[in-house]
Structure 1
Amino acid sequence: MTITKESAARDLTLPSGRSVRYYDGGPADGLPVVLLHGSGPGATGWSNFSGNIGQIAAAGFHVIAPDMPGWGDSSAAITKEMDHDVDLVEILDALGIEKAALVGNSMGAHTAVRFATLHPERITHLVTMGASLGKSFPKSLFGPADGPSEGLKVLVKAYRDPSPENMKALVEIMTFDKARFATPELTKARSDAASARPDHLKNYVEGLVDGAPIPFTVDRSKIPSIDVPALVIHGRDDRVLHFETSLWLTTHIPNSRLVLLNRCGHWAMIEHADEFNRLVVDFLSNN
């Protein structure tokens, strides 16, 4: 199914007054599947999932990929007032969706996991890739002993200065196959998208002291209570968030399975789009 950015784009206003851009595809009566993007300058529902929305929608699912407040074409939000759990509840309510499968990358995975602990009655399936658990994750065994990973350092630098050079470095560290994905076209597009919203950049940088991009972290003790089927995906070569986070999630979510992809960085849904789409469609269809 071919879905263009222009044909899929929709807008809604939340009860909070914030406006949200989202991308919509697939039959309205299909199982709702919400794709939650990660953080990073220029990140949006479309930039993260343009290679996934059409294939998942073609399998009969109703796909929604929002730009969360603070990103893309949605309203600006300062970090200390940002709670994507509240935003997601309002998005589902505004769209008349009672229950949905949640598919999240990085920050979006954290949102999905936290949502599953707070609103178990509103989620049917949980899919994470390159999952972050923020400060609620136990002390790392394999990542940096103190401070952010090399990937997060590059990400923050690109927020401070979203030049094509810094965006190229960001795309390179997010992916395993740099030659294929860190193209001048992609890095310029991400740079232009980030620069178009200086309010998002400013809010993120100023919000670092408040825990940007995740000021409200999941209660780790509640994760074993998640009882929906969970698919945990991670790139073995992820230099932003080590795959030990996904090992931990698979250990603590009872009905879960882990797919660890070799030659894959932080963006499994982009680097291995066809395999990612097959995994998600099969998982949603048979669990």
Structure 2
Amino acid sequence: MTLHWVDKVAVEDEGEGDAVVCVHGLGGSSNSFTALMPALAGQRVLRLDLPGSARSSAVSGVLSIARFAECVRTVCARLGITRAHLVGHSMGTIVCQHLAVETPKLVRCLALFGPLISPAEAARAAIRTRAGKARSEGPSGMQDIAQTLMNGATSADSRRRHPAVAAFVRESLMRQDPDGYARSCEALADAPAAAVEEIRAPVLLVTGDEDTVAPPQAVRAMAERLGGSAGVRTVVLNRCGHWTPIERPDECARELRDFLASVRS
């Protein structure tokens, strides 16, 4: 594996073959996709820490979905990638949708975990409040945020039977730079919806039956709006919350592997 720095953005570059670009969600990092790496064997996988997140927290300025999408385009251009499978989680799925609409020649397919087109109005307000808490309270605020999201965004089964899931979610959030996280929150709170009806690439949508961010009914409605794509597969995982690749890694890896095989065939 090679670690690149592209305009202060950390990019892990591993393997050879068809390009896969992984885009994490709010409070995530390249490690959000570690459990899916076995499903991506035989391919070249790029995993970014988005501007403002994890190792890329030193990036300054206002963050936005448009800036995240431009970051992905820049990384691909610098590293010689002209066409890629995009794998996203949560906020990262919004970024992937915008890329598929704005730069369709780059996108071979979309595999979206915990997908949403844009946050609901109530969620936008809550995310802005969270940004204020992170900025004003610093690390102690991030600890409170981590505990709240671990309890609210993972399933009861994950918390009870898989303590490593809770540990991962808490660690991912608690290790975020408070200001970078606050700016990322503001980017999500202001996220515009992509014109998903224009997406032509094949799409995989995976959510959990206990996902309150991307509930099954909303994901099914999203699938209907993607009717112009080359094909949409929707999967709802049992006893799973919003951190799908972490809570149900084996199922997510299987769905991803099968989906990419269908795209290549």
TM category (shorter chain) comes to 0.7 to 0.9
Residues 156 and 214 (structure 1 numbering): CA distance in 2 closer, same or farther, change over 3 Å? closer
Q: Say if 2:55 is the partner of 1:73.
A: yes
User: In the TM superposition, what whole-angstrom CA distance separates every residue of 1:236-260 from its partner, at most 9, and x where no partner exists?
Assistant: 1012333333212211223211111
CA displacement at 1:111 relative to structure 2: 0.6
Letter in 1 for 2:122: G
Q: Say if 2:23 is the partner of 1:36.
A: yes
Letter in 2 for 1:219: A
Aligned partners of 1:187, 1:283: CA distance in 2, in Å? 26
CA displacement at 1:162 relative to structure 2: 4.0
Which residue is 1:253 aligned to?
A: 226
Residues 243 and 115 (structure 1 numbering): CA distance in 2 closer, same or farther, change over 3 Å? same
Kept in 2, the 8 Å contact 1:70–1:76? The answer is yes
TM-score under structure 1 normalisation? 0.77
CA displacement at 1:76 relative to structure 2: 2.3
Gaps of 5+ in 2: none
Aligned partners of 1:10, 1:97: CA distance in 2, in Å? 16
Kept in 2, the 8 Å contact 1:83–1:215? The answer is no
Aligned partners of 1:183, 1:229: CA distance in 2, in Å? 30
Aligned residue pairs total 251
Kept in 1, the 8 Å contact 2:29–2:54? The answer is yes
Which residue is 1:3 aligned to?
A: none
Aligned partners of 2:234, 2:167: CA distance in 1, in Å? 33
Residues 168 and 216 (structure 1 numbering): CA distance in 2 closer, same or farther, change over 3 Å? closer
> Which of the residues 148, 160, 166 maps onto 2:123?
148
Aligned partners of 1:259, 1:44: CA distance in 2, in Å? 23
Which residue is 1:25 aligned to?
A: 14
Which residue is 2:192 aligned to?
A: 217
User: In the TM superposition, what whole-angstrom CA distance separates every residue of 1:71-113 from its partner, at most 9, and x where no partner exists?
Assistant: 1111424335661111111010011001000011111000111
User: In the TM superposition, what whole-angstrom CA distance separates every residue of 1:156-203 from its partner, at most 9, and x where no partner exists?
Assistant: 587354454542222222211113246775466335522xx2441353
Aligned pairs for 1:45-64 within 5 A:
45-46=30-31, 48-53=32-37, 55-58=38-41, 60-64=42-46
Aligned partners of 2:67, 2:190: CA distance in 1, in Å? 7
Letter in 2 for 1:20: V
Identity of aligned residues (%): 24
Worse-matched range after superposition: 162-171 or 259-268: 162-171
Which residue is 1:5 aligned to?
A: none
Which residue is 1:171 aligned to?
A: 150
Kept in 1, the 8 Å contact 2:94–2:194? The answer is no
User: What SS class does the counterpart of residue 51 from structure 2 fall into?
Assistant: coil
CA displacement at 1:62 relative to structure 2: 1.3
Q: Which has the higher helix share?
A: 2
Worse-matched range after superposition: 241-250 or 160-169: 160-169
Cα RMSD of the aligned pairs, angstroms, is: 2.8
Residues 37 and 134 (structure 1 numbering): CA distance in 2 closer, same or farther, change over 3 Å? same
User: In the TM superposition, what whole-angstrom CA distance separates every residue of 1:10-69 from its partner, at most 9, and x where no partner exists?
Assistant: 1222xxxx3111222222xx11111110012xx2112x112122x0332x1211110011
Aligned partners of 1:268, 1:191: CA distance in 2, in Å? 16
Aligned partners of 2:63, 2:182: CA distance in 1, in Å? 13
Residues 150 and 241 (structure 1 numbering): CA distance in 2 closer, same or farther, change over 3 Å? farther
Q: Say if 2:122 is the partner of 1:129.
A: no
User: In the TM superposition, what whole-angstrom CA distance separates every residue of 1:98-140 from its partner, at most 9, and x where no partner exists?
Assistant: 10000111110001111111111111111111112225xxxx6
Residues 174 and 162 (structure 1 numbering): CA distance in 2 closer, same or farther, change over 3 Å? same
Aligned partners of 2:182, 2:221: CA distance in 1, in Å? 33
Kept in 1, the 8 Å contact 2:223–2:232? The answer is yes
Kept in 1, the 8 Å contact 2:117–2:222? The answer is no
Aligned partners of 1:263, 1:131: CA distance in 2, in Å? 17
